[in-house]
Amino acid sequence: MLEIRDLHASVAGEPILKGLSLTVKPSEVHAIMGPNGSGKSTLANVLAGRDNYEITGGEALFEGKSLAELEPEERAQLGLFLAFQYPVEIPGVSNMEFLKAALEATRAAQGKEEWDSVTLLRKAREACKQVDLDPQFLKRGVNEGFSGGEKKRNEIMQMLLMEPKLALLDETDSGLDIDALQTVAKGVNSLRGPERGIVLVTHYQRLLDYIVPDHVHVLSGGRIVKSGGKELALELEQHGYGWLTGGQDGGNGKEDRTA
Amino acid sequence: MSSQAELDNSELDRVIRSEYEAGFTTLVESDTLPPGLSEDVIRAISAKKGEPEWLLEWRLEAYRNWQTMQEPNWAHVEYPPVDLNAISYYSAPKSMEDRPQSLDEVDPELLETYKKLGIPLHEQEMLAGVAVDAVFDSVSVATTFKSKLAEAGVIFCSISEAVHEHPELVKKYLGSVVPKGDNYFAGLNSAVFTDGSFVYIPKGVRCPMELSTYFRINEANTGQFERTLIVADEGSYVSYLEGCTAPQRDENQLHAAVVELVALPGAEIKYSTVQNWYPGDEDGKGGIYNFVTKRGVAHDNAKISWTQVETGSAITWKYPSVVLRGDNSVGEFYSVALTRHAQQADTGTKMIHLGRNTKSTIVSKGISAGKSSNAYRGLVRMGPRAENARNFTQCDSLLLGDTCGAHTFPYIETKHPSATVEHEATTSKVSDDQLFLCRQRGIDPEKAISMIVNGFCKEVFKELPMEFAVEAGKLLEVSLEGAVG
Ligand SMILES: Nc1ncnc2c1ncn2[C@@H]1O[C@H](COP(=O)(O)OP(=O)(O)OP(=O)(O)O)[C@@H](O)[C@H]1O
Ligand SMILES: [Mg+2]
């Protein structure tokens, strides 16, 4: 469903991704790891179509369509979902209102039946429960005054409702306490299915104990430098990235606990 | 002087008078007065309306005083001078034959907007001035409500009607809040106003419904010099809604209304406005100039609250104010002003604290797009007797794009040491991150912007009566179309 070939991309004119290839098939969970600044968020943002993130070479296909030619909302309507590393606040726009707009737009585009407000509210409450968010959060402004962990849970709550085909989770685990990590992992696992692909960006093996990936990739210097099975994550946990990157990125990923 | 000369003189007088009278009669008989302003024109307006002598005198005084005044130029707006002699100051309502016979004859663009705003078909017909002689639902609805109001003792009628039916009230309060010499445009209005609304709520009565929701369509055509007077007697309450979200077009470029509110001790008046006059094309051509004077006086323990949503007009010049005359009185001003294209808005409020323990709150939200200019101008004055008076002002601007402007002009005067004035101001842009979050969730940019802007305005919208708030939200959405990019 996702086919990335020799992708080059720059951020505000600065080349960041330098020949990245990755294939995600339905039902698969891929974990992407790598030092700080190696380009993981860049990859997620390029796929989602953020302004200033420009594909300069290669291609990225989603469901056979070239992402470069689609507006961000069109990608979302096709079923691509990004859980943000740093979810932004939208003051005054209630979570519920936001979800309603998002679900109306995507469900219609995907030919799914429309949910009336009663159904929507019920589903939203269920999704809140699944990630251990008080349903009162539905009334608050989107991420407005949420704690770091609450923001992350809010992202997963949205994902559960939107039932995307491909979910990109950018460090959803960082900033979560241990219980929340399990709750969120359970939420993500509940979405696993034969039709769905999941890409997890993470720094920690711990998340992968709960969401067991089919493939693990190491991103460094804008390229995937190593791929393997779930054991690779364990290896990284023990040895860091130095043996793979030759120290070129400097980071070892363990500094980012508070992100 | 010879007697011959005397005769000649009185003959001359007579001739002049008869000519004058003939001219005057033609003036009164014609449907539309010829353009221009003179004492005769004012006499003609007054005569057409069958007004009592005192009101004619009042108008004439206003006129004479106005002639000595200068058009103000301190506002942050620019426009070519308005030729007041090119305006006709009275015209009778259009006859059925002159109106469009069905919606098919109405400007399709206007209909498109009605549709977007979700206005029911029969209301569309009325708004567009279609000649329909069937009895509307809403007319009978209006009748039911009128009888309910009468039961409560509430007087709600046109000001012309009030002049005849309740002269003592009109005489006592007309011009008591906005004196006829108050400012250039208020002076002009006092001289030539043609109609408007009058409300009186008796002592201790809570008006059983929001006034004007069900009537506003019938009142849509009150002309360019509208005059509104609302008197809430002791301990009474009224919520009044003015305007409507549907775009209103008018051949008259200049609109200079006056609204006066009197809240007697312990009374509360809540006045909500949605203003959507035609803003003109992208360059502002053909748009309406809206120069309004709105003011209320709050006596002891009384409360006056202005809420406005301003999206229309080429130029808006408007400062709904509260004179907190009585002790413990409260004044509030909640405003959303949206400008786009070449629109210019200079709006805000004045809170004049005279009494002790008076309290005022100002929340102003300005949104600018296109090459528009949006200024907040607010005065908070704490008088020498205003012990423990308090004001809180919050003034937020939101910019869409780089070619628009937002300005804040707060004026604070404190003459009592115990008075406190707090002012907070912010300017922000719709951030790319917010927009991207919305788009990543499948929401198209226009919808996203309108959602973000609506969120920005929430504090003001929640002050509007429920139904109005929903309409106002939709109105912003429609007004913002094409504002992205
Ligand atoms: N707007 C920008 N202009 C220039 N460089 C940028 C911009 N945004 C990101 N970068 C750079 O791109 C590189 C990759 O950043 P990215 O956020 O993708 O890293 P990451 O792998 O997600 O790191 P982390 O683990 O810290 O989240 C970094 O060196 C970063 O400084
Ligand atoms: Mg990152």
pLDDT digits (tens, 9 = 90+) for A83-106: 999 999 998 899 999 999 999 999
Q: Which of residues 34-63 of A touch B (CB under 8 A)?
A: 48-51
What's the N-to-C CA distance of chain B in angstroms? 82
Q: Contacts of residue A87 in chain B, CB cutoff 8 Å?
A: 437
Task: Using alpha carbons, select from A137, A222, A104, A25 the residue that is nearest to residue B443.
Answer: A104
Which residues of B lie closer than 8 Å to A, measured between beta carbons?
431-434, 436-445, 447-448, 451-452, 454-459
The range of the structural domain enclosing residue B59 comes to 16-444
Q: What is the pLDDT of residue B137?
A: 41
pLDDT digits (tens, 9 = 90+) for A37-83: 999 999 999 999 999 999 999 999 999 999 999 999 999 999 999 99
**ipTM associated with this complex:** 0.92
Mean pLDDT calculated for residue range A115-143: 93
Whether residue B29 lies inside any domain: the answer is yes
Q: What is the pLDDT of residue B312?
A: 78
Closest approach of chain A CAs to the CA of B437, in angstroms?
A: 7
Instruction: Judge whether residue B148 has pLDDT over 90.
Output: no
Instruction: Judge whether residue B222 has pLDDT over 50.
Output: no
Instruction: Tell me the CA–centroid distance for residue A217 and ligand 1, in Å.
Output: 18
Instruction: Judge whether residue B65 has pLDDT over 90.
Output: yes
Instruction: Judge whether residue A259 has pLDDT over 70.
Output: no
Instruction: Judge whether residue B139 has pLDDT over 60.
Output: no
By Cβ distance, the residue of A51, A71, A158 closest to B441 is: A158
Q: Contacts of residue A158 in chain B, CB cutoff 8 Å?
A: 441
Q: What is the pLDDT of residue B317?
A: 86
Q: How far apart are CA B419 and CA A189, in angstroms?
A: 60
- pLDDT band for position B141 (cuts 50, 70, 90): low
- pLDDT band for position A250 (cuts 50, 70, 90): very low
Q: Residue B178: which residues within 8 A CB-CB, separation 6 or more?
A: B186, B258, B259, B260, B293, B295
Q: What is the pLDDT of residue B213?
A: 46
B479: amino acid identity, one letter: S
Q: Is A111 near chain B, with CB under 8 Å?
A: no
Contact between chains at B457 and A92 (C-beta distance less than 8 A) = yes
Query: Between these two residues, A197 and B123, which has the higher pLDDT value?
Result: A197
Q: List Cα–Cα distances, A215 to A77, A199, A232, B284, in angstroms.
A: 26, 10, 9, 60
Q: What is the pLDDT of residue A200?
A: 95
Mean pLDDT calculated for residue range B5-11: 52
pLDDT digits (tens, 9 = 90+) for A140-193: 999 999 999 999 999 999 999 999 999 999 999 888 888 899 999 999 999 999
Instruction: Judge whether residue B301 has pLDDT over 90.
Output: yes
Q: Residue A42: beta bridge partners? A: none
Instruction: Judge whether residue B221 has pLDDT over 60.
Output: no
Q: Contacts of residue B441 in chain A, CB cutoff 8 Å?
A: 76, 98, 101-102, 105-106, 158, 162
Lowest mean pLDDT among A196-210, B70-84, B198-212: B70-84
Mean pLDDT calculated for residue range A221-232: 92
Instruction: Judge whether residue B121 has pLDDT over 90.
Output: no
Q: Count of CB atoms within 10 A of residue B340's CB?
A: 23
Instruction: Judge whether residue A32 has pLDDT over 70.
Output: yes
Instruction: Judge whether residue B156 has pLDDT over 70.
Output: yes
Considering its fold, how many domains does chain B have in total? 1
Q: Residue B401: which residues within 8 A CB-CB, separation 6 or more?
A: B369, B370, B483
pTM > 0.80: no
**Whole-number percent of chain B with pLDDT over 70:** 79
Contact between chains at B456 and A91 (C-beta distance less than 8 A) = yes
Instruction: Give, in degrees to the nearest 5, the angle at Cα A254 between A253 and A256.
Output: 80
Q: Is A177 near chain B, with CB under 8 Å?
A: no
Whether residue B439 lies inside any domain: the answer is yes
Contact between chains at B458 and A102 (C-beta distance less than 8 A) = no
Q: What is the pLDDT of residue A17?
A: 96
Closest approach of chain A CAs to the CA of B455, in angstroms?
A: 4
And the tokens for A7? 């992708």
Q: List Cα–Cα distances, B401 to B405, B436, B447, B483, in angstroms.
A: 9, 16, 16, 8
Residue in A with minimal Cα distance to B445: A73
Instruction: Judge whether residue A249 has pLDDT over 50.
Output: no
By Cβ distance, the residue of B444, B452, B459 closest to A93 is: B452
Mean pLDDT calculated for residue range B335-357: 90
Tell me which residue has tokens 């005359």.
B325
Instruction: Tell me the CA–centroid distance for residue B429 and ligand 2, in Å.
Output: 25
Contact between chains at B442 and A84 (C-beta distance less than 8 A) = no
Lowest mean pLDDT among A43-47, B76-80, B323-327, B458-462: B76-80
Whether residue B484 lies inside any domain: the answer is no
Highest mean predicted confidence (pLDDT) among B174-178, B287-291, B452-456: B174-178
Q: Is A88 near chain B, with CB under 8 Å?
A: yes
- pLDDT band for position B283 (cuts 50, 70, 90): confident
Q: Probe ligand 1: pick from A7, A8, A11, max atoms within 8 Å of CB?
A: A11
Whether residue B302 lies inside any domain: the answer is yes
Q: What is the pLDDT of residue B86?
A: 77
Q: How far apart are CA B188 and CA B193, in angstroms?
A: 8
Q: What is the pLDDT of residue B138?
A: 42
Whether residue B71 lies inside any domain: the answer is yes
Mean pLDDT calculated for residue range A119-126: 94
Q: What is the pLDDT of residue B36?
A: 83
Run of H or E including B465: none
And the tokens for B215? 């009537």
Whether residue B437 lies inside any domain: the answer is yes
Q: What is the pLDDT of residue B225?
A: 85
Q: How far apart are CA B259 and CA B226, in angstroms?
A: 8
B469: amino acid identity, one letter: A
Lowest mean pLDDT among B15-24, B234-243, B331-340, B406-415: B15-24
By Cβ distance, the residue of A50, A84, A97 closest to B451 is: A97
